[in-house]
Amino acid sequence: MPERAEILHLLCDEPAGSLRQEAEKITLAQKGSHVFVRGLLEFSNRCKRNCLYCGLRAQNSTIRRYLLPQEAIIASSEMAVAAGADTVVLQAGEGCFDAGWLADIVREITSRLGVPVTLSVGECARGDYELWRKAGANRYLLRHETSDAALYAKLHPGYSLENRLKCLRVLSSLGYEVGSGFMVGLPGQSLESIADDILLCRKLNVDMAGIGPFIPQGGTPLAAGQGGSADLALRAVAALRIAHPRVNQPATTALASLDPARGQAEGLRWGANVLMASFTPPDAAKDYRIYDNKCRVNMQDAARAIEEAGRTHILKNI
Ligand code: 5AD
Ligand code: SF4
């Protein structure tokens, strides 16, 4: 398995052609040609945190906040499953809904629709994670964002990388399949720390990892900064595939947002094997503004990207 120096070499020096081919070869050997398509439901844009990079931060008073009602969440989940999504991903900002309310939704989706439920609702109390696990949720996405503890503290006022990692360990111990991941091109992030991000995903033995370029967002403290490059994000996707071959990796929405025509197909060609298609009702989705020009990837987009990358899917009604 590659160590830090080799990962740095993959990120910086390896010719793009051979890096991409190696990552694609490992992806096909480990995962086959099939691309999993998840149904993403962004059920609330309320958030108590103030991550410096994110448009949903609590202090951003310029966006309209929403929390979808239970019936709307369940109806959208049904649509996602009918269209061929293999899991429903329920995503929201942190700490602005009732844990029991979400447990009821999880119970309803797992019992009625028969698909796994993935949660992505941030750092929560162990008791809440337990409650949702008992209700039937069995996957959880919580990106570590950056493995550089000092940078993490700067970007997340009042929070620590240590607590983030503790949450990931608790989730694993409760029997969740766990997803982490990170951004590429954050202000103050070094290439060495991106190599460490990859090593951390391997050390945590994560089941899933989402890697996306940082995209500056208006109305946040990092609005004027430079964003991350799609090229470096793709190199990181490939390097993670080589370092941790069994991981499920999405071609992220951030990649699609930088290059709407080809971003996701490129992600698949560089080592990704998962896509997330949004089933968030459109008038809510327009307020889920994590960053500017966030793409809304639908099932048609997903199918097109998969076909363009020469891979296979089981999507219906498209
Ligand atoms: N650019 C790119 N990705 C972002 N995220 C949040 N803000 C941004 C941004 N400005 C990512 C974080 C978070 C995920 C839901 O979106 O990694 O975990
Ligand atoms: Fe909230 Fe997540 Fe945005 Fe941070 S990244 S402000 S936790 S929605």
- Which protein residue's CA is at the shortest distance from atom 14 of ligand 1? 143
Find out whether 187 and 151 touch, Cβ atoms under 8 Å: no
- State residue 229's pLDDT score: 96
- The alpha carbon dihedral of 257, 206, 91, 187 has a sign of negative
CA-55 nearest atom, ligand 2? 3
Q: Identify which ligand lies nearest to the alpha carbon of 53.
A: 1
pLDDT (tens digit per residue) in 31-40: 999 999 999 9
- State residue 225's pLDDT score: 86
Average pLDDT (30-59) is 97
Find out whether 127 and 133 touch, Cβ atoms under 8 Å: no
pLDDT(305) > 90: yes
DSSP code per residue over 246-277: T-B-BB-HHHHHH-TTTHHHHHHHTT--EEEE
- State residue 315's pLDDT score: 83
Helix, coil or strand: residue 89:
strand
pLDDT (tens digit per residue) in 57-111: 999 999 999 999 999 999 999 999 999 999 999 999 999 999 999 999 999 999 9
Q: Which two tokens stand for residue 241?
A: 């595939």
pLDDT(5) > 80: yes
- State residue 318's pLDDT score: 61
Indicate if ligand 1 lies below 6 Å from the C-beta of 54: yes
How far, in Å, is the centroid of ligand 1 from the Cα of 292? 11
Average pLDDT (293-305) is 89
How far, in Å, is the centroid of ligand 2 from the Cα of 271? 26
pLDDT(293) > 80: no
pLDDT(317) > 70: no
- State residue 294's pLDDT score: 81
- Which protein residue's CA is at the shortest distance from atom 15 of ligand 1? 290
Per the prediction, the chain carries an average pLDDT of: 96
Q: Which residues, in sequence order, are bridge partners of residue 177?
A: 139
- Which protein residue's CA is at the shortest distance from atom 5 of ligand 2? 54
Helix, coil or strand: residue 9:
helix
Q: Kindly indicate the confidence band of residue 190, based on its pLDDT and cuts at 50, 70 and 90.
A: very high
How far, in Å, is the centroid of ligand 2 from the Cα of 51? 6
Indicate if ligand 1 lies below 6 Å from the C-beta of 215: yes
CA-122 nearest atom, ligand 2? 7
pTM over 0.75: yes
- State residue 1's pLDDT score: 81
Average pLDDT (204-227) is 95
How far, in Å, is the centroid of ligand 2 from the Cα of 112? 30
Measured CA to CA, the distance from residue 236 to residue 230 in angstroms comes to: 10
Burial class (CB in 10 A: 0-12, 13-18, 19+), 144: buried
Measured CA to CA, the distance from residue 119 to residue 190 in angstroms comes to: 30
Q: Kindly indicate the confidence band of residue 314, based on its pLDDT and cuts at 50, 70 and 90.
A: confident
pLDDT (tens digit per residue) in 137-171: 999 999 999 999 999 999 999 999 999 999 999 99
CA-47 nearest atom, ligand 2? 1
Q: Which residues, in sequence order, are bridge partners of residue 204?
A: none
- State residue 119's pLDDT score: 98
